[in-house]
Amino acid sequence: MVKYIGKRLIYMFLTMFLIATATFFLMQTLPGSPIASYNKLNESQRAIVEKKYGIDKPKPVQYAIYMKNLAKGDLGTSFVFKGKSVNDLLVNRFKPSFILGAQAMVFGTVVGILLGMLAALRQNTFWDYGSTFFAILGISIPSFVFASLLQYWIASEWHLLPVGLWNDGWKSSILPSIALAMGPLALSARFIRTEMIEVLNSDYITLAKAKGANGYEIAFKHALRNALIPLVTVLGPVAAGLITGSLVVEQIFAIPGIGEQFVSSIMTNDHATIMGTTLFFSAFLIVVIFIVDILYGIIDPRIRLSGGKS
Amino acid sequence: MEKILQVIDLELSFHTFAGEVKAIRGVSFDLHKGETLAIVGESGSGKSVTTKSIMRLLPETSSEFKNGEILFDGKDLTSLPESGMQKIRGKDISMIFQDPMTSLNPTMPIGKQVMEPILKHQKVSKAKAKEVAIELLKMVGIPNAEVRYKMYPHQFSGGQRQRIVIAIALACNPKILIADEPTTALDVTIQAQILELMKDIQKKVDTSIIFITHDLGVVANVADRVAVMYGGRIVEVGTVDEIFYNPQHPYTWGLLSSMPSLDLEEERLYAIPGTPPDLLNPPVGDAFALRSEYALKIDLEQAPPMFQVSDTHYAATWLLHPNAPKVEPPATIIERMKTFRGSRYYEGTDGNLGGEA
């Protein structure tokens, strides 16, 4: 197990290195430059600014400097928010995004699992068709459409919750979290339904029945854990979906989160912030996938003890 | 002898897209206290369905009792509510399944799986249940039970897993143990061990066993009585000696002839021609008639009733009717009958203990 985790950590660093390199050079191909918007500057002033940010040097040298700073954990200075380090920006912006993401993840998977179980236990009834319909809606309608609909009906028409912004405590987080949760919810519901139906037909469920277990014990004690195994493997990509979803949803609800900043940094060609945010998202995703793999072993003892499936 | 379970004229159908499959078409049998009743028959004859219907483990949505009663402990199990069945399952009647590789929950330690019926049906503490579970695991021959208690099914071999399944079935000292082909998925050496274990346990806990199998060698080894099923009906029932050495139904003759034997010099093993009947449209008369070379005209028109051969021996074939023509069974069957005292081919003297050969 320790060896397995060590190996995984090495791969994770390697992945981060490749992502950093690829992002750095991809960004150089973007049209314009970070200081293109400083259009009031004359030639010599422009040269001073370029020198200050180190973008007058050849690209390989810039890359070497960037990687050196990155190794120290320094993501550089923002071009747009003058004098602010990218690290500070990320830390400030991280909290709302994390709250939204975590709430959406928990709400989406828990409700999705319950919905999927309901559909499987009441197969081919109203409940099954209802939950399937709901799940197909969740999969096919993008989160920004949900976000707009929620904003329109619940916030604007019925005045139940704030339309946007991050100034009303927990209330502000409800609508964006729900909008974000629809994807994971639908996906978990579909996965659990399919898997649960298969598990419920397996011999060990019949044996559990033969022991005198009731419906609740069969569903939660025996079937659920086995039905969760495939879902856990897709939770990594689900987390990825949440991140990309949050880019848009934060924009719609005007939430000062990391996604909102990411989008605006691209608009303003703020290289250091784009790099920093990309790396942050990548690191987040890699860590989530790592946790998912560990979780997989905890849920399925057959994998835990052999230390990796291969 | 005390009857612990009575199945009376049971009829059960499955509703499928193709139509109504009449899987059980009037099955009656008794189970006595402490005996082992073997139910034999080919795939699709209804033997598993019969026992699953006793436990009510068939899908409620697609299966339906059409007629008959299953009497246990003064109750008719066909009409008992689900909550009532839950009190009986695992406590009074428990079951061992065919494939030990799939019948244990892969994500639950085996000790917990053995404890489950104990905690469910007996008012005992967790610590006490654990003690009982470890005792049970020891009894079924799991070495080092205190340590292995915490392990998961994939850490055990097939034979050991079947032992664990048996431990689960025995957890509450059931009155009836249903074993649905418990040795079919195991290799031959392990089969013998599991059969020995089951015989041992029966002596220790005095339970009645219904043993489903298609392996006649296993039947000879474990059973007191045998019921032969074909096409959703019991066609012959008797003591193990009566079935093996004085069979009356042509289907039983076919089954016994298709058993490999070391004594016979025939080079080719006999196989019953044809295929089992389609229970979507079951045949009107004797379901076996179309595959039987001994079929009479009436076999195609009317189902035979059970004819009594002896106090314990009954067979459903028109050949036993007083007006039926006398037919010669296959040579191998006559050889068998020669050793059975009650049979018309008996060759020994009266002092011989027929059937013990």
Per-residue model confidence as pLDDT tens digits over B122-148: 889 999 999 999 989 988 888 888 899
Over chain B, what is the mean pLDDT?
87
For residues B16 and B349, the model is more confident at B16
Show me where the domains of chain A are located: 24-74, 95-304
**Smallest Cβ distance to B97: which of A207, A225, A302?**
A207
Quick one: which H or E segment has residue A46?
helix A43-53
Q: Do B116 and A209 touch (CB under 8 A)?
A: no
Can you tell me the mean pLDDT for A4-17?
88
- CB atoms A203 and B99 under 8 Å: yes
The verdict on a CB contact (< 8 Å) between A206 and B97 is yes
| Residue A204 with chain B: CB contacts under 8 Å | 102-106
For B82, nearest residue in chain A (alpha carbons): A214
Chain A residues within 8 A of B168 when measuring between CB atoms = 207, 211
All residues of chain A having their beta carbon less than 8 Å from the beta carbon of residue B117 are 211-212
pLDDT at B355 over 50: no
> Left, alpha or beta for B274 (phi > 0: left; psi -120 to 50: alpha)?
left
Nearest CB to A214 within list B57, B86, B94? B86
Question: Which residues from A are below 8 Å from B154, CB to CB?
Answer: 301-302
CATH topology of domain A95-304: MetI-like fold (1.10.3720)
Q: How far off is chain B from A124, nearest CA to CA, in Å? A: 11
Q: Give the C-alpha separation, A198 to B145, whole Å.
A: 32
Does position A149 have pLDDT exceeding 90, yes or no? Answer: no
Nearest CA in chain B to A296: B107
Q: If you average pLDDT over residues B315-322, what whole number do you get? A: 87
Of the listed ranges A45-49, A118-122, A138-142, the least confidently predicted one is A45-49
State residue B354's pLDDT score.
Answer: 44
Higher pLDDT, B2 or B10: B10
* Long-range contacts from A20-28, C-beta under 8 angstroms, 24+ separation: A20/A66, A20/A67, A20/A70, A20/A275, A20/A279, A21/A63, A21/A67, A23/A274, A23/A275, A23/A278, A23/A279, A24/A63, A24/A66, A24/A275, A25/A59, A25/A63, A27/A271, A27/A274, A27/A275, A28/A59
**Nearest residue on chain A to B104, judged by CA atoms?**
A204
- Give the pLDDT score at B356: 43
ipTM of the prediction: 0.84
Q: What is the pLDDT of residue A304?
A: 64
- CB contact at 8 A, B201 and B182: no
**Contact criterion met (CB < 8 Å) for A213 and B120:** yes
Q: Which residue has the higher pLDDT, B285 or B153?
A: B153
**How far is B338 from chain A, CA to nearest CA, in Å?**
44
pLDDT tens-digit readout, B332-341: 888 888 888 8
Q: Dihedral through CA A125, CA A131, CA A134, CA A139, nearest 10? A: -120
